[in-house]
Amino acid sequence: MNEMLNITHGPSYDNSISKFEYHSYSPFLQSFNPSDEIRIPIQQQDLCVLPCESYIYIEGCLTKSDGKPSSTGKLSNNAIAFLFEEIHYELNGVNIENNKNVGITTSMKNYISLNENESKSLENAAWSGNSTISPISGTFNFCVPLKNLLGFAEDYKKIIVNARHELILIRTRSNENALYSDEELKLSILKLQWRVPHITLSDSNKLTLLKQIQSNPIQIHFRNWEMYEYPTLPTNTDHLWTVKTSSQLEKPRYVIIALQTDRKNQRNKDASKFDHCEVSNLKVHLNSECYPREDLNVKYKLDQYAILYEMYSKFQQSYYQKQSQPLLSRQNFKNIAPIIVVDCSRQNESIKTGPVDVKVEIKTALPVPASTTMYCLILHDRIIEYNPLTGEVNKLT
What pLDDT, on the 0 to 100 scale, is given for residue 134? 82
What pLDDT, on the 0 to 100 scale, is given for residue 353? 62
Q: 3-state SS string over 261-298? A: ECCCCCCCCCCCCCECCCEEEEEEEECCEEECCCCCCC
What pLDDT, on the 0 to 100 scale, is given for residue 288? 84
What pLDDT, on the 0 to 100 scale, is given for residue 213? 80
- Residue 106: phi and psi, rounded to 5, are -70, -30
What pLDDT, on the 0 to 100 scale, is given for residue 253? 92
Contacts of 88 (CB under 8 A, 6+ apart): 95, 97, 98, 99, 167, 168, 170
Tally: H helices and E strands in the chain: 8, 19
List the chain pLDDT tens, one digit each, 397 residues: 567 777 777 777 777 788 899 999 999 888 899 999 999 999 888 889 999 999 999 999 999 888 888 888 889 999 999 999 999 999 999 999 999 999 999 999 999 999 999 999 999 999 988 778 888 888 999 999 999 999 999 999 999 999 999 999 999 999 999 988 777 889 999 999 999 999 998 878 878 888 888 878 899 999 999 999 999 999 999 999 999 887 766 778 999 999 999 887 777 788 899 999 999 999 999 988 899 989 999 999 999 999 999 999 999 999 999 999 999 999 999 999 999 999 998 876 555 567 888 999 999 999 999 999 999 999 999 999 999 888 899 887 6
Q: In sequence order, what are the beta bridge partners of 218?
A: 386
What pLDDT, on the 0 to 100 scale, is given for residue 137? 85
Which amino acid is located at 4 in the chain? M
What pLDDT, on the 0 to 100 scale, is given for residue 133? 84
Q: Name the residue among 275, 260, 254, 264 with its Cα closest to residue 358.
A: 254
What does pTM read for this prediction? 0.92
Task: State how far the Cα of 73 lies from the Cα of 70, in Å rounded to an integer.
Answer: 6
> What are the structural domains, with CATH classification, of the chain?
17-220 (2.70.9.10), 226-382 (2.60.120)
What pLDDT, on the 0 to 100 scale, is given for residue 5? 74
SS3 113: helix
Radius of gyration in angstroms for the set of CA atoms belonging to the chain, rounded to a whole number: 23
Q: Residue 94: count other Cβ atoms within 10 Å of its Cβ.
A: 15
Contact (CB, 8 A) for 132 and 77: yes
Alpha helices per DSSP H over the chain = 2-5, 102-113, 116-121, 151-155, 203-215, 306-313, 315-320, 330-335
Which amino acid is located at 207 in the chain? L
Contact (CB, 8 A) for 88 and 165: no
